[in-house]
Structure 1
Amino acid sequence: MNRRFDLIAFDWDGTLFDSTAAIALSIQDAVRDVGGTVPTLDVAKYVIGMSLQGALRHAAPDVPADSMVELTNRYRYHYLKRQEEVNLFEGVLPLLDLLTARGHLLAVATGKNRRGLDEVLDSTLLKGRFDASRTADETAGKPNPLMLQELMAELDVAPERLLMVGDTTHDLQMAVNAGCASVAVSYGAHHPDGFEAFGPLFIAHSVADLQQWMAGNA
Structure 2
Amino acid sequence: MAKKQFDLIVFDWDGTLMDSTATIVACIQAAAKDLGLPIPDKKQASYVIGLGLQDAMQAVLPGLDSKYYPHMVERYRYHYLAKDKGLTLFDGVREMLKDLSQQGYFLAVATGKSRVGLNRALDAANLLSVFDATRCADETFSKPHPAMLHELTRELGQDMQRTVMIGDTTHDLQMAINAGAAGIAVHYGAHSAPELQALNPAYAAASVFELHAWLNENA
Shorter-normalised TM-score: what interval?
Answer: over 0.9
Distance 2:128 2:185 in 1: 24
> Which residue is equivalent to 1:89?
90
Distance 1:38 1:105 in 2: 40
Report the alpha carbon displacement of residue 202 of structure 1 after superposing the two structures with TM. Answer: 0.7
SS of residue paired to 2:67: helix
> Which residue is equivalent to 2:132?
131
> Which residue is equivalent to 2:2?
2
Report the alpha carbon displacement of residue 78 of structure 1 after superposing the two structures with TM. Answer: 0.9
Q: Which runs of 5+ in 2 are unaligned?
A: none
Letter in structure 1 aligned against 2:38? T
For residues 21-42 of structure 1, the C-alpha deviation after alignment (integer angstroms, 9 at most, x for no partner) is 0000100010111121111110
> Which residue is equivalent to 1:47?
48
Letter in structure 2 aligned against 1:110? T
Alignment of 1:168-187 (within 5 A): 168-187=169-188
Stretch of structure 1 that moved more, 148-157 or 121-130: 121-130
Matched, 1:66 2:67: yes
> Which residue is equivalent to 1:38?
39
Alignment of 1:20-39 (within 5 A): 20-39=21-40
Stretch of structure 1 that moved more, 58-67 or 146-155: 58-67
Distance 2:38 2:97 in 1: 40
Letter in structure 1 aligned against 2:7? D
SS of residue paired to 1:61: coil
CA contact (8 A) 1:22 1:85 kept: no
Report the alpha carbon displacement of residue 120 of structure 1 after superposing the two structures with TM. Answer: 1.3
Distance 1:13 1:92 in 2: 12
Distance 1:193 1:85 in 2: 30
> Which residue is equivalent to 2:157?
156
For residues 145-204 of structure 1, the C-alpha deviation after alignment (integer angstroms, 9 at most, x for no partner) is 000000010011111110100000000000000000011000000001112222211110
> Which residue is equivalent to 1:213?
214
Distance 1:34 1:62 in 2: 15
Report the alpha carbon displacement of residue 125 of structure 1 after superposing the two structures with TM. Answer: 2.0
> Which residue is equivalent to 1:145?
146
The alignment's TM-score, normalised by the length of structure 1, stands at 0.97
CA contact (8 A) 2:50 2:172 kept: yes
Q: Which runs of 5+ in 1 are unaligned?
A: none
SS of residue paired to 1:127: coil
Distance 1:111 1:198 in 2: 20
> Which residue is equivalent to 2:109?
108
The alignment's TM-score, normalised by the length of structure 2, stands at 0.97
Report the alpha carbon displacement of residue 62 of structure 1 after superposing the two structures with TM. Answer: 4.4
Cα RMSD for the two superposed structures: 0.9
Stretch of structure 1 that moved more, 193-202 or 142-151: 193-202
